[in-house]
Amino acid sequence: MNLLWEWLADPVNWAGPDGVWARVAEHLVYSGIALLIAAAIGVPLGLWIGHTGRGRVVTVNLVNGMRAVPTLGLLFAAVLVIGPRLHGDSAFQVPAVLVLVILAAPPILAGTYSGIDAVPADARDAARGMGMTPGQVLARVEVPCALPLIFSGVRSAALQVIATAILAAYVGLGGLGYFLQLGLGSRDYGMMAGGAVLVALLALAVDLLLAWAQRLTLSPGLRTHDQAG
Looking at residue 221, what is its pLDDT? Answer: 57
Phi and psi dihedrals of 87, rounded to 5? -130, 150
User: Which among 153, 156, 119 is positioned nearest to 42, based on CA atoms?
Assistant: 153
User: Which among 209, 112, 101, 207 is positioned nearest to 161, based on CA atoms?
Assistant: 101
pTM over 0.85: yes
Instruction: Name the DSSP class of 176.
Output: T
User: Which among 34, 168, 165, 164 is positioned nearest to 108, based on CA atoms?
Assistant: 34
Q: Please report, for residues 74, 132, 161, 164, 211, the alpha-carbon distance to residue 101 in angstroms, rounded to integers and kept in the order given.
A: 12, 35, 8, 11, 21
Q: Is the pLDDT of residue 192 over 90?
A: yes
pLDDT tens-digit series, residues 91-128: 888 999 999 999 999 999 999 999 998 888 888 889 98
Q: Is the pLDDT of residue 25 over 70?
A: yes
Looking at per-residue pLDDT, the higher value among 172 and 193 belongs to 193
Looking at residue 27, what is its pLDDT? Answer: 94
Domain 2-228 is classified in which CATH homologous superfamily? MetI-like (1.10.3720.10)
User: What band does 19 get if pLDDT is binned at 50, 70 and 90?
Assistant: very high
Q: Indicate the domain borders of the chain.
A: 2-228
Alpha-helix runs per DSSP H in the chain: 2-9, 20-52, 56-67, 71-82, 90-117, 121-129, 134-137, 143-164, 177-186, 189-217, 220-228
Q: Within its chain, how far is the Cα of 59 from the centroid?
A: 19
Q: Please report, for residues 16, 132, 152, 154, 169, the alpha-carbon distance to residue 71 in angstroms, rounded to integers and kept in the order given.
A: 30, 44, 22, 19, 13
Q: Is the pLDDT of residue 164 over 60?
A: yes
Across the chain, what does the average pLDDT equal?
A: 88
Q: Are 165 and 27 in contact (CB under 8 A)?
A: yes
Q: Is the pLDDT of residue 172 over 70?
A: yes
Tell me the C-alpha distance between 15 and 110, whole Å.
40
